[in-house]
Amino acid sequence: MIGLLQVLYRYRALISSLVSRELKARYRGSVLGFLWSFINPLLLLLTYTLVFTIILRVPQTERMSPYYLFFFSGLLPWTWFASSLLESSSVLIAGGNLIKKVLFPAEVLPTVTVLANLANFLLGLPILLGFLAWEGRLSVSLLLLPLPIIVQLVFTLGCALFLSALTVHFRDLGNILAHVLQLWFFATPILYDVEILQGTVRQLMRLNPMGHVIISYQQMLLFGYFDHWRGLAGSLVAGIVALGIGAFVFDRLRDTLSEGV
């Protein structure tokens, strides 16, 4: 893992350049261009607000009110996580011409994917903060927001490295991943409040690193306090383990990546 971090630090300028290129490529040719980085999360927020508060009228606890902010506080970081994993699963295959070059560090590609989606998350965050201000829900707990962001970054990067390397040799993983993420989404307290879970279900939720990360976002953004230190610390440990496993698998498969693509 230390070797991975050294490589990423050594090629930080390349990573920064590729992240910038990736963000520009996403909106190239569109009339509004980079403004879509702000419009997309706004449209997402309005769509889910319409569906869950007007059409479906999801039952809400007091902690979940207003529901659209509760839901979006979890959905925004989940979108970063899910998009990073889905894109990372095919990034080495798509970048086959690059990783066949002897001097190109293949681990840069999944890292760029994770960081580009992090940038989209950060660009969407002002939309959420704007609605929080509208509802009078801004608080000093927002100053702690870098903590779950860092934990999520470590965990997501570890998963991305692991999946990107394995998918080169096992292409079916890309199709399976979409279904796993859908199940993982419902196993994470985004649509519902974790406090309504009881017994075995709640115990199982504690094994979900992203569950603790999402709860941390909800507390800092919406509830105005943060006391989920143990849960977030557990997610950090899971993230470090995931990063270590991801780095190990990636390094073991490195010599065969160019053959697989």
Is residue 228 scored above 80 in pLDDT? yes
Instruction: Work out the percent of the chain whose per-residue pLDDT is above 70.
Output: 89
The predicted structure's pLDDT at residue 32:
58
Is residue 28 scored above 70 in pLDDT? no
The stretch 53-73 carries a mean pLDDT of 76
The stretch 29-50 carries a mean pLDDT of 69
What does the pLDDT look like over 139-154, one tens digit per residue? 899 999 999 999 999 9
Is residue 238 scored above 80 in pLDDT? yes
In the block, tokens 């002897």 appear at 102
What does the pLDDT look like over 83-139, one tens digit per residue? 999 999 888 887 767 777 667 788 899 999 999 999 989 988 988 898 889 888 888
SS (H, E, C) the chain: CHHHHHHHHHCHHHHHHHHHHHHHHHCCCCCCHHHHHHHHHHHHHHHHHHHHHHHCCCCCCHHHCCHHHHHHHHHHHHHHHHHHHHHHHHHHHHCHHHHCCCCCCCCHHHHHHHHHHHHHHHHHHHHHHHHHHHCCCCCHHHHHCHHHHHHHHHHHHHHHHHHHHHHHHCCHHHHHHHHHHHHHHHCCCCCCCHHHCCHHHHHHHCCCHHHHHHHHHHHHHHHCCCCCHHHHHHHHHHHHHHHHHHHHHHHHHHHHHHHHC
Confidence of residue 33 (pLDDT cuts 50, 70, 90): low
What does the pLDDT look like over 41-51, one tens digit per residue? 777 777 877 77
The stretch 69-93 carries a mean pLDDT of 90
The predicted structure's pLDDT at residue 158:
95
The predicted structure's pLDDT at residue 210:
95
Q: Tell me which residue range forms the domain holding 209.
A: 2-260
The predicted structure's pLDDT at residue 235:
96
Instruction: Count structural domains, the chain.
Output: 1
The predicted structure's pLDDT at residue 142:
92
Is residue 214 scored above 90 in pLDDT? yes
42: which 2 tokens?
A: 């706004």
The predicted structure's pLDDT at residue 37:
67
pTM of the model: 0.90
The predicted structure's pLDDT at residue 179:
92
